[in-house]
Structure 1
Amino acid sequence: MTMTVNGSPVSLPHDARVSLLDLVREHLHLPGTKKGCNQGACGACTVLVDGERILSCLALAVQFEGRSVTTIEGVGTPGALHPLQAAFIEHDGFQCGYCTPGQICSAIGMAQEIRRGVPSHVTADLAAPDIAPTRDELRERMSGNLCRCGTHNGIIDAIAEIVSADVLLPEPAQ
């Protein structure tokens, strides 16, 4: 049984109780995905599975056999930052940086949701073919990712810049 993590095949653990978060951090030694609350309440562990955002602390690794997982290490590299990573730097969208990997992965998944027309709690017209990525819409969609340092304004500024520039978050590197 295997899955793909950041473009590389990975054997699933023999122990079916291993969370996806623990597989990534402890078995694959990819420290970017953070263990925050370990209860699905903070979003620090957000990764992408087949382009959709999930909380890796609440998922068992064996659930993702044959699927593609992207962690922050698969989003960009120091020499080739993802546009959203560059925007986070430009807009001071991080302070301590602990939540930043989950914020970035969540924002990429969120942008894909908007692209597919998936409404949120604050979407005004549920029948509209296009959803406007207003600040309220972005804040609502990112509300599951907490930043204890209080850089939410910089985070939303970074996401808004990328979404409005229609660099609409290309698929993460595989």
Structure 2
Amino acid sequence: MATTLLDSGGVDAVTLREVGHRSGVSHNAPYKHFADKEALLAAVAARELRRLSEMQAGIGAATGSVDAVRLLLHGYIEWALAHPARFKLVFSSWSVASDELADEARTGWSGLVDVVAAAQRSGSLPPGDPERMASLLRSLTHGAVDLALSGHLAADGKGGAEPATLVDDLLGHLAAAVPAPA
């Protein structure tokens, strides 16, 4: 229910009272599971991060190619554009401590780093610190999605590109920078 409310009206539409009402239980019932709205939203964000991690696991670090990185980032873009309120929720500032959210964030991050490191080991991305390379890729992807959602990036408008094509451009530049084998 919370995700439905989030998708239809953003964070402001999510209340524990409304979640209880739509779930067919007492309006106080959700308080037995969540201390407050932010705790509920942290659980929703953790579930979304888990979904993204499952997508990453489906691609797997074993493929060890720039194509695996591309698939992973394109999947992230598709999710973010299809679910903008979830995207914004997951990457908002959190004042509540949530072990579940922190664990899912670590899992997702390490999955991306693993896919990048495998691509570096295969020689399809330049060598270097895989965390830093993953940060570069995530930053471009995240920023491009954010710009697209706010109307500042579109293939037929501002920027003359979509997030996926910018990811492809960056991956092409990075692949071109791979040193030739000795």
Q: TM-score, normalised by structure 1?
A: 0.29
**Greater helix percent: which structure?**
2
**Greater strand percent: which structure?**
1
Higher relative contact order (Cα pairs below 8 Å, separated by 6+ residues) = 1
Q: TM-score, normalised by structure 2?
A: 0.28
